[in-house]
Structure 1
Amino acid sequence: MQGRTRIKGYFRLLPMAIFAVAALIGSATQIAGTPAMATERPVTPEKNPPGDIPDTQVFITYASPLGFSLKVPEGWARTDHPDGAGFSDKYNAVDVTVTSAPRAPTATSIASHEAADLVQGGRAVRIAAIRQVMLRSGPALLIVYTSNSGPNPVTNRQLRLERHRYLIYRGGKLATLDLSAPLGADNADQWKLISDSFQWR
C-alpha cells in the first residue's frame, strides 16, 4: 500500500513537472556544445534508412551481474563494460548502464542535467520530449531525441539517429537504457519489447 501511495504521488506531480520541462527543453536546445560539436549540423535523414529490426527477429534474455536483465536481439555483437553492456548491429544499438544514485530522478532534474548534457556533449542533439512512462518494471523517465551518428571509419558517412533513453531507478541504483537506430526505421514494437523486458533482479 505504501508503494502504491508513492507512485500515485509521483503521477500527481507530473502536470507541474511537464510544465517545467517544456520550458527547460526550450532552453536546453540552445546550449552551446563543445568547440568540436558546436559546428556539427544535423545530417539529412535518409528516405529509406537501414535499421529496421525484422518482425521475425528472435530475442534472448541477457542477465547482468549488475543485477538486471532484459531481452536483446539474438546475434547482435555484445560489448561488456564495468558498468553495463552494449549490443549492436550496424547502426542499431542497445546500451544499458547502472550507476549509484541517492534518489530517483525527476522530469525537471533530467531536463536540467541529463538532457542538457546530451545537447552539450552529443552530435547535433535535438531533444524532442521528456516524459514519464510506465514500464512493466515500474515508472521510468524517457528522453526522446535525435543525433548524428559517429562517422563511419571507412566511408566517413553519418546517419541521423532516433534515440530513446530510459532512466529506471530502484533502491539507490539508476539504470540508463539507450536505444538507437537510423531516423525513420520502424522499430517501435521492438523497442517497446526491449524496454518493457527490463527487470531488476
Structure 2
Amino acid sequence: MTVRYRISAALAVLLMISSGVFPPALAQEKLLAPETNPPGDIPDNQVFITYTSPDGFGLKVPEGWSRTPIDHGVRFFDKYDELDATLDTASAAPTVSSAKADVIPDLKAAGHAVKVTAVKDVKLAAGPAVRISYLSNSAPNPVTNKLIRLEHERFILFKDGKTVTLDLAAPAGADNVDQWQLISNSLQWR
C-alpha cells in the first residue's frame, strides 16, 4: 500500500508540473524586502502601555523602552528615542511669552547646539499647553563618541500650581508625528 501511495503521489506531482498547476507549498514564494525604519522611527505597530507617576500624572509610553528616574520625573528611552516627563511647581500657567523669556534661555544653556523652530499654544486632552519645537545635538555616544541631530517637541501643561513638562526627542527626520501625538494627548493629571 505504501508503494502504491508513493507512485500516486509522484504521478500527481508530475501531472502538476506538466500542467503548470502548483499547490501553494510548491509555488515559489517571493522574497519580501526587509522593513526599513529610519533610526529613531517608532514603528506604526508599536504597543503603548500606561505609566502612572507617583507625582500625580500618567501617560502612555512605548512598551519595552527602558525607564530611569531623573530629577523630578522619569525618562523612557530606546536607542535614539527619548521621552522625559517632569513635574514642577509654578505660580501661573505658561504662555508663549513666558516660554520665550524663561524656558528657552534655560533650554539653550543646558542643551547642545539648541535651535528653537517654533513656540505656540496648543490644546491637548489634558488641557492647554505651550509647545516648543526645537533641534539639538545629542549627548555623545558613550562607545563611539558620535553625535546625532535630534528633533524635539516639548509640551508644558499647568494645573493647580504644578507643571508637567513632556519632552519627546528622536533623530531628525524620523517620522513620529502620530506616535508623539498619541503620547502627548495621553497625558493625564491624577
SS at match of 1:155: coil
CA contact (8 A) 1:149 1:159 kept: yes
Match of 1:181 in 2: 170
Q: Aligned match of 2:125 in 128, 136, 145?
A: 136
Match of 2:23 in 1: none
Aligned mates of 1:168, 1:115 — CA distance in 2: 16
**After superposition, where does 1:1-201 map in structure 2 within 5 Å?**
49-81=38-70, 83-201=72-190
Could you tell which deviates more after superposition, 114-123 or 132-141? 114-123
CA contact (8 A) 1:49 1:183 kept: no
Aligned mates of 1:107, 1:172 — CA distance in 2: 18
> Relative contact order: is structure 1 or structure 2 higher (C-alpha 8 Å, sep ≥ 6)?
1
Specify the structure having the higher radius of gyration (Cα): 2
Unaligned runs of 5+ in 2: 1-36
Amino acid in the other structure paired with 1:170:
K
CA contact (8 A) 2:156 2:163 kept: yes
Deviation of the 1:80 alpha carbon? 2.0
Match of 2:6 in 1: none
Deviation of the 1:121 alpha carbon? 2.5
SS at match of 2:107: helix
Deviation of the 1:105 alpha carbon? 1.3
**TM-score for both structures, normalised by structure 2:** 0.79
Aligned mates of 1:131, 1:164 — CA distance in 2: 11
Greater helix content: 1
Aligned mates of 1:94, 1:122 — CA distance in 2: 15
Let me know the Cα RMSD of the aligned residues.
1.1
Aligned mates of 2:107, 2:38 — CA distance in 1: 24
**TM-score for both structures, normalised by structure 1:** 0.75
Large movers: runs of 4+ above 2 Å: none
Unaligned runs of 5+ in 1: 1-47
Aligned mates of 1:67, 1:117 — CA distance in 2: 25
Aligned mates of 1:119, 1:82 — CA distance in 2: 19
Deviation of the 1:83 alpha carbon? 1.4
Deviation of the 1:82 alpha carbon? 5.2
